[in-house]
Every structure is written in structure tokens, then in C-alpha cells.
């Protein structure tokens, strides 16, 4: 069984997730740690629970989801894994983040890119890849079928959806991917998004104003 620990980090309140199972192997998804205090929070949690980070995953490469990539690499030797269609998004960050008044430590680039389908494994656990671009050009979600939850990044939120006005965004594509790729999951599937509170597939099918 996979345990989920959520942290909310950085000036735009991004959700960072640490997933681990009984083997104590863990995966860090969308590390948003921005400063030393936030870095200490996540490394403290990993040390206290005697976890062994084995994977660093990015749903997509907007700055708020990759602030901590370099910290994870420096501490646990993990390079990020994401879909190659996000690489130019990652590479563009140094060009715009300083103008926002924010610091950015350069993320390493992947040695392994993830596909549109397939899975990643850690410990005794498997996360299936669901390709759902629209908020960003090659966004992936991670579905734990046995535990019936989705790490959804910035695709689907409680009563909302990801913004589509950033480079590589596409509103029609996002709606299409939510309806065809996420709404086929069980209604009681928990959705852990990149911002805000968790929700379920069934709730969003019924109540999300963008998807009626």
C-alpha cells in the first residue's frame, strides 16, 4: 500500500508529494521547495521515516513544480524524469523566473524520459502514466491503480482546471484529455492536484463548472 505525504511549498503554494510503501523506497513528485526552510522540511521527513528516494518525477516543468529538482539531485543523486515534450519548458525557466523576482537553481536534465504510456516502479509499487497535455505541452499524471489515486499535477483541480494561457497551453486539448483520459478512472479515485485540496473523479464529473 502506498502512503502519500503532501507538502505545500513556495510563493505559489504548489503541492509536492512524497509517495512510499512498506519497502521504504519513495518517489518525490514535483518538488517545489524554494528556500532552506522548505528543503529542511522535506529532507527531515525523509530522514525521520527512514525513506530511500529512488525516483524524481515531474508531472510538467513549470517553475513552481521544479524549484526543488536540484536539491533532490544534490542530496539523493536523482535526475528528474518527465516527458521529453516538457524539456523546452524546463530550459526556458532561467529566461523568465528572475524577472519575477524569484531565485532558481538550475535543474539537471533527465537521463530517462517518460513516454505517453507505460509505468514507473518503486519498492513494491507501480504508477501508471497518463498523458494529459493542455495546461502544458506534455503533461503527465501518475495513477496508482491498486490504491486508486491520481497525482494529477495541474490538469484537474477541486472545482477547477489548469490554466491554459501559458506557452504550450491549449484549452480544448485540456478539456478533451480530462474527459477522455481522467474521467475514465473510477468515480472514487482520489485526485491529488498540484495546487489546492484533493478531490475525486466522481465529484469533478458532477460539479466542476468547466466540465459540464
pLDDT tens-digit series, residues 46-63: 999 999 999 999 999 999
| Cα-based angle 71, 156, 34 (whole degrees, multiple of 5) | 20
Read off the pLDDT of each residue in 55-80 and give the average, rounded to a whole number: 98
Range of the domain at 201: 3-207
Residue 16 belongs to a domain: yes
Query: Cα–Cα distances in Å, from 169 out to 15, 22, 59, 74, 212?
Result: 20, 38, 14, 31, 21
Answer yes or no: is 212 within a domain. no
How open is the CA angle 131-191-152, to the nearest 5 degrees? 30
Instruction: Give the model confidence (pLDDT) of 138-184 as tens digits.
Output: 999 999 999 999 999 999 999 999 999 998 999 999 999 999 999 99
What is the number of structural domains in the chain? 1
pLDDT value of residue 130:
98
- Residue keyed to cell 521504504: 24
The per-residue pLDDT for range 182-198, each reduced to its tens digit, is: 999 999 999 999 999 99
Which CATH number does the domain housing residue 79 bear? Answer: 3.60.15.10
Q: Report the alpha-carbon distance of residue 198 to residue 200 in Å, rounded.
A: 7
- HSE-CB of 110 using CA atoms within 13 angstroms: 21
Amino acid at each position: 500500500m502506498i502512503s502519500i505525504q503532501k507538502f505545500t511549498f513556495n510563493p505559489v503554494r504548489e503541492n509536492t508529494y512524497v509517495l512510499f510503501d512498506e519497502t521504504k523506497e519513495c518517489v518525490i513528485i514535483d518538488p517545489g521547495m524554494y528556500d532552506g526552510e522548505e528543503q529542511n522540511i522535506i529532507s527531515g521527513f525523509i530522514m525521520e521515516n527512514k525513506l530511500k528516494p529512488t525516483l524524481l518525477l515531474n508531472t510538467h516543468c513549470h517553475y513552481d513544480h521544479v524549484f526543488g529538482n536540484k536539491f533532490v539531485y544534490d542530496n539523493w543523486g536523482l535526475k528528474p524524469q518527465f516527458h521529453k515534450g516538457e524539456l523546452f519548458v524546463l530550459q526556458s525557466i532561467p529566461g523568465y523566473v528572475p524577472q519575477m523576482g524569484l531565485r532558481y537553481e538550475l535543474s539537471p536534465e533527465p537521463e530517462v524520459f517518460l513516454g505517453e504510456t507505460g509505468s514507473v516502479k518503486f519498492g513494491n509499487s507501480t504508477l501508471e502514466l497518463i498523458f494529459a497535455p493542455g495546461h502544458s505541452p506534455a503533461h503527465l499524471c501518475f495513477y496508482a491503480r491498486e490504491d486508486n489515486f491520481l497525482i494529477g499535477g495541474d490538469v484537474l483541480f477541486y472545482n477547477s482546471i489548469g490554466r491554459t494561457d501559458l506557452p504550450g497551453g491549449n484549452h480544448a486539448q485540456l478539456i478533451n484529455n480530462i474527459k477522455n483520459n481522467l474521467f475514465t478512472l473510477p468515480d472514487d479515485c482520489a485526485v491529488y492536484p498540484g495546487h489546492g485540496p484533493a478531490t475525486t473523479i466522481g465529484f469533478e464529473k458532477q460539479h466542476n463548472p468547466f466540465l459540464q
